[in-house]
């Protein structure tokens, strides 16, 4: 099967610093791909470059058979490749429902259709009871659900998640993961950057390991974490390797 998302030799520099040094990665339709790697290895930069927030200095991004390398971030999102951020920023003074209605989603031009869709998504994510609350009243974890809800308004084929459960209490973490799995069952493809190794172990089909802007290993969680160069990469950056990789 053709890959849904593919990068070829993606490169991004900041002055003399090479944050992404030729990243070639191929994600199949329906897959959950985990991306791990020590702090500063280039994971967030990769997300930003793939989704048009940064212009790459070289390489290409192909999504759903189309070269999207030079497209603006909102154009990429409308093609069905969406992303979340480590730091969530809803429209704080709008209600939860209004936050969803503010998303420019293709195909939902009629307001009633949009409202219906927003209602379904709020139900699906179990936040329908908060629909008329201001977003600013939500907890950090609930705001992550709201961010996800806004993405779903775009009906994305693939979602790039940047630390989806960081800073979220365990009960809400479980709910977020449960909903992500349900979406994956319905066919949504995911790429997840995450420091929580339990989450990656449980959720990712394949794991790509970043180190110093390159991919140094790829395979199942157990395969990559058994590789000595992966353990060495973490050893350079973290004090307790066993705590990180298990």
Task: Point out which residues bind ligand ATP (CB under 6 A).
Answer: 14, 17, 19, 37, 39-45
Residue 63 or residue 210: which is nearer to ligand ATP going by CB? 210
Q: Which residues pair with 6 in a beta bridge?
A: 26, 62
State the nearest-atom distance from the C-beta of 195 to ligand ATP, in Å: 7
Q: Record the tokens describing residue 239, joined without a space.
A: 């004090």
CB of 98 to ligand ATP, least distance (A): 31
Compare residues 122 and 224 and give the one whose CB is closer to ligand ATP.
224
Give 206 or 208: the residue with its C-beta nearer to ligand ATP.
Answer: 208
The residue among 38 and 156 lying less far from ligand ATP, judged by its C-beta, is 38
At its nearest, how many Å lie between ligand ATP and the CB of residue 22? 14
Q: DSSP secondary structure string, 4-72?
A: EEEEEEEEEEETTEEEEEEEEEEEETT-EEEEE-STTSSHHHHHHHHTTSS--SEEEEEETTEE-TTS-
Question: CA–CA separation, 123 vs 201, rounded Å?
Answer: 28
Quick one: 17 or 182, whose CB is closer to ligand ATP? 17
Q: How far is the CB of 239 from ligand ATP (least distance, A)?
A: 15
Percent of residues in the chain assigned helix, strand, coil, to nearest 5 = 40, 25, 35
- At closest approach, how far in Å is the CB of 233 from ligand ATP? 11
């Amino acid at each position: 099967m053709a890959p849904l998302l593919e990068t070829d030799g993606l490169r991004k520099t900041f002055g003399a610093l090479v944050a992404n040094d030729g990243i070639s990665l191929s994600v199949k339709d329906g897959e959950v791909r985990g991306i791990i790697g020590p702090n500063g290895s280039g994971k967030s930069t990769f997300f930003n470059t793939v989704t048009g927030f940064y212009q790459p200095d070289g390489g290409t991004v192909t999504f759903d058979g189309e070269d999207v390398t030079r497209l603006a971030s909102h154009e990429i999102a409308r093609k069905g490749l969406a992303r979340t951020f480590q730091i969530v920023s809803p429209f704080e003074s709008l209600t939860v429902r209004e936050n969803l209605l503010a998303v420019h989603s293709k195909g939902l031009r009629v307001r009633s259709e949009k409202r219906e869709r927003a209602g379904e998504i709020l139900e699906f994510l179990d936040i329908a009871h908060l629909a008329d609350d201001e977003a600013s009243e939500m907890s950090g974890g609930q705001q992550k659900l709201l961010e996800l809800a806004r993405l779903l308004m775009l009906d994305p084929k693939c979602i790039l998640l940047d630390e989806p459960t960081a800073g979220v209490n365990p009960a809400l973490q479980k709910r977020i993961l449960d909903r992500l799995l349900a979406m994956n069952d319905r066919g949504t493809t995911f790429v997840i950057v995450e420091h929580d190794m339990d989450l990656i172990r449980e959720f990712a089909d394949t794991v790509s390991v970043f180190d110093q802007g390159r991919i140094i290993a790829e395979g199942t969680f157990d395969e990559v974490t058994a590789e000595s160069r992966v353990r060495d990469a973490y050893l350079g950056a973290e004090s307790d390797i066993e705590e990180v990789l298990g």
